[in-house]
Amino acid sequence: MNIGVLGGTFDPIHIGHLVVAEEARIKLGFNEVLFVPAGQPLLKPDRNITPADHRVEMVRRAIADNPHFKICTLEIERPGPSYTVDTLTMLRKQLGSEASLFFIIGRDTLAELPLWKEPKKLVQLCRLVVAPRLGSKDLKHLETSIPGLLDKVIQLDMPVIGISSSGIRQRIAQGLPIRYLVPAEVEKYITGQKIYLTSAG
């Protein structure tokens, strides 16, 4: 069984997340894709993250119509900071050795991998499916700090999607529409719960 794993704050989840997940699922033959909302992401200390219950509900609504998409709340339920290597270790124990894990990551985020907890162990737990990003740098330098990394990388051949959660938050705070940037049910939830009205960060 091939399992895609897409982690993120999902603050909010948007069309870009869904397109990347579906593109990876179809092209690489995943049985399912797990969406893993972050609990306390260490690399985003500069702003307050929207409460987990809101982010989980937005993910649930966003993926409800795709039977291959599932939500995994391991990081939300686990106390303390969120580390991807811990999440993948727990998934490996839950799913067993028969499952192959594929961690879906943006090319820009991959460049930060040496800063993550136990990056060498992380790449032993999974293959890395890398989605293109605008302005991404060459990744060859990563091989020095994480030997064998590039052998574990699968480049996802797809158009760059220039949508960001921060941009969506800014639009909401400015009173601008977000229709077609997020699924309709997510937009309804954001409007109904009055999320991001004063958050431009």
Per-residue pLDDT of the chain (201 residues; tens, 9 = 90+): 999 999 999 999 999 999 999 999 999 999 999 999 998 766 555 568 899 999 999 999 999 999 999 999 999 998 888 899 999 999 999 999 899 999 999 988 888 899 999 999 999 999 999 999 876 667 777 888 888 888 999 999 999 998 999 999 999 999 999 999 999 999 999 999 999 988 545
Q: What is the pLDDT of residue 144?
A: 85
pLDDT of amino acid 43: 56
Residues spanned by the domain of 48: 2-161
Residue 133 falls within a domain, yes or no? yes
- Domains: count for the chain: 1
Angle of helix 15-28 relative to helix 52-63, nearest 10 degrees? 50
Q: Would residue 56 count as lying in a domain?
A: yes
Which CATH number characterizes residue 101's domain? Answer: 3.40.50.620
Query: 37 - beta bridge partners?
Result: 8
Residue 84 lies in a domain: yes
Dihedral pair phi/psi, residue 87, rounded to 5°: -65, -45
CB 144: neighbour CB atoms within 10 A?
9
